[in-house]
Amino acid sequence: MCAAALLVGLAVAPAQADTGAGDTPGGGLRGAGWALKATGKEARFRGLAGVSRSTAWVAGTKGTVLRTGDGGRSWQDVSPPGAVAEGLELRDIEAFDARRAVALSIGEGEASRVLRTEDGGATWTETFRNPDPGAFYDCLTFFDARHGLAMSDPVDGKFRILATDDGGRSWRVLPDTGMPAALPGEAAFAASGQCLVASGPRDVWLATGGGPVARVLHSSDRGLTWRAADSTVPAGDPARGVFALAFRDRTTGLAVGGDYRAGQASPQAAARTADAGRGWSRAATPPPAYRSGAAWFPYGRSTALAVGPTGTDVTTDAGRTWRTLDAGSYDTVDCTADGGCWAAGEKGRVARLEVLRTPGR
């Protein structure tokens, strides 16, 4: 990077946005890169919720939650005291705005909990504590400010779904009659808060791995009934499968994953769908390694990002081909409607995607 380069926010991106055809390398992300935003923490942030270019939340190890309202120039430590005291692993966070957020801690039995704040993290309320020693919650997602779901690894042979209709203030376990049986060894990965994702008012998808095949389950009725489809992402090992999903709308989606073990090959680590997940096609040129997070870029209908410990990749043709954008380590990524793309990961790393320009251009 040129020392004289200036970092300019992606608010300029509409003028550079891709056409959707993917015929211009880089599309709307030409010249873009991650600009690190110092947090002063060493936590690993696998939970990330972008609200806008200026506001974002991150959640991670040892009960840590941070919030920024100035584009990452400063961060406020709003960690729930109880989560810090118990060293909870906060692997997912969903935020509605700068004041309201819902966080999920993972683990067996009572370690799986849901916490909610309405005052920017000044105070938190525990709204769910898992009573079942056989359950292990991995991810949560919201359709809107009231309706949301959380999911657990299989209990009695089926993935378990938890639902809220009041913004996370209360939760109930949904009946499993509409859930297909889990495959032997099948589970979800709490790697980025993106193993359960929603698009629109009723559609939700669940990503799996660890079994003989990596599957994506889809529900069009907020989690009451599900249909499973095999993805093209390799599985067959507890460390392999689909780690993250991203849906641009109720039909067009991406799946990324691979083998999370360092040094292990992850061929065919990305797949795409155009029919709501009923069928999946492998990427012609996939990311070169395991990827744990994915997000659609808001400017241009064919551009998306995938992140992992060894780098960031971008597609400008809706997941058919990927190219490397950055070599930094990130676990999760999220983009907002106003062009604010955020990434987070190990050792307190948080970054915002920005366009690099030289003076006079």
Name every residue whose Cβ is closer than 8 Å to that of residue 208 and which is 6 or more positions away in sequence: 159, 182, 183, 186, 187, 188, 195, 214, 215, 216, 217, 241, 242
Mean pLDDT of 344-350: 98
Two tokens, residue 19 = 């056409």
pLDDT reported for residue 28: 53
Specify the pLDDT at position 24: 33
Give dist(CA 72, CA 307) in Å, integer.
19
Please state which of the ranges 13-27, 91-105, 119-133, 234-248 shows the lowest mean pLDDT: 13-27
What does the DSSP assignment read for 71-85? Answer: TTSS-EE---HHHHH
CA 108, 178, 233 angle in degrees (round to 5)?
A: 65
Give the SS3 label for residue 26: coil
Q: Is the pLDDT of residue 2 over 60?
A: no
Max CA distance (Å), the chain: 64
137-156 pLDDT, tens per residue? Answer: 999 999 999 999 999 999 99
Is 146 strand, coil or helix? coil
pLDDT of 4 reads 25
Q: What percent of the chain has pLDDT over 90?
A: 88
83 — phi, psi (to 5°)? -65, -35
pTM of the model: 0.91
Comparing 7-21, 32-46, 84-98, 176-190, the range with the smallest average pLDDT is: 7-21
Mean pLDDT of the chain: 91
pLDDT at 361 over 70: no
- pLDDT of 112 above 70: yes
- Asked whether residue 22 carries a pLDDT value surpassing 80, the answer given is no
Measured distance CA(339)–CA(214) in Å, rounded: 31
